[in-house]
Amino acid sequence: MTQQSDPPEKLAEEKLLRVRRPFVERVSDPVLNQILDKLLEHGVITDEEMQSARTRGRADKARDVMDTVRRKGRAASSVLISTLCEVDPVLSREVTSFNVVLCPILNKAVFNLKSDSS
């Protein structure tokens, strides 16, 4: 559980850890491939890491992407979060379990739309 005393640099990695299971269960293979491409473009992963992940089945690929990026720290984790929000905003909302908000601007906009339609 994140406490107020936790250093801010851990927040992105903790968010990824907390949404790992629903991400692995729900992400599609095409979305994973788009995420891998963007992570490579941003220099978060190497070509070798991308090629290795692509040889795996969908669930193992999702675990590999999540764990590899999370171990690289806050900046890498933040890129994965923003990439997921961009590539699949619906999935990014679906995996926001345990009160973890991955895409605050997007989630706020969706919340406001729901409030307006009430």
What does the pLDDT read at residue 101?
A: 58
pLDDT at residue 48, as a whole number:
97
Domains of the chain: 8-116 (1.10.533.10)
For the chain, give the secondary structure using H, E and C.
CCCCCCCHHHHHHHHHHHCHHHHHHHCCHHHHHHHHHHHHHCCCCCHHHHHHHHCCCHHHHHHHHHHHHHHCCHHHHHHHHHHHHHHCHHHHHHCCCCCCCCCHHHHHHHHHHHHHCC
Q: What is the model's pLDDT at position 30?
A: 96
> Strand, helix or coil at 85?
helix
Predicted pLDDT at 55: 95
- What's the pLDDT score for residue 87? 92
Report mean pLDDT in 10-residue bins for the chain, 118 residues. Answer: 47 84 92 96 96 96 95 91 89 65 50 37
Can you give the pLDDT at residue 102?
62
